[in-house]
Amino acid sequence: MKKTTIGLALMFIIGMSLYLFYALGGFNQIEITQTNLGTIELTGKTYRGIPGNESLKETFLMMEELQRSHPESKLHTIYFVEPAGKLDTMEVFVGLESSWVTDKTDLTELQFDGSSAIVANIQAHRFVMPGPNRVKNEILEFAEENKLAEPKIFIDQIIGPEAVKVIALDQNSIK
């Protein structure tokens, strides 16, 4: 009797977990396409340091505040150097489309040729969203299957709390 109750409870928990994962979009596929995005112009700040530093938080808050004043704009991040641990150095650019930024004082401007961009659309709750390595691997696989140049630059465009677009470009697209 006790084993049956435990077994039923365990099956119920597993079933509810799978349903919750499904409801949050955990089984959604990553949609990958090749797209001509034209010239991608971004304006923002670059942070270089360790992940826990207060100035990283300030960089994101500054750009998020600017983004809130232009709700149509999208926040973009580019990790030039990703940290392997909490004390490793990272380098990340946080910015918006240049057309939304009027005061460019103390900000960095970046331009990319997006004429042959690979774009991955991800729709899922942040708790079940696929990790960056899985997305990157699927993009690289797509590039190889379609005989495209191997992307080296990955721009994360945050569309909303449950939607992210990853724009993958080859090294030669930096202007």
E strands of 103-152, at which residues? 108-113, 117-123
Confidence grade of residue 169 (pLDDT, cut at 50, 70, 90): very high
C-beta of residue 24 within 8 angstroms of C-beta of residue 123: no
Structural tokens at position 15: 């079933």
DSSP symbols for 51-69: TT-HHHHHHHHHHHHHHHT
* Per-residue model confidence as pLDDT tens digits over 86-127: 778 899 999 999 998 888 888 999 999 999 999 999 998 888
Mean pLDDT of 1-25: 82
**44 vs 171, higher pLDDT:** 44
Q: pLDDT band for 60, please (50, 70, 90 cuts).
A: very high
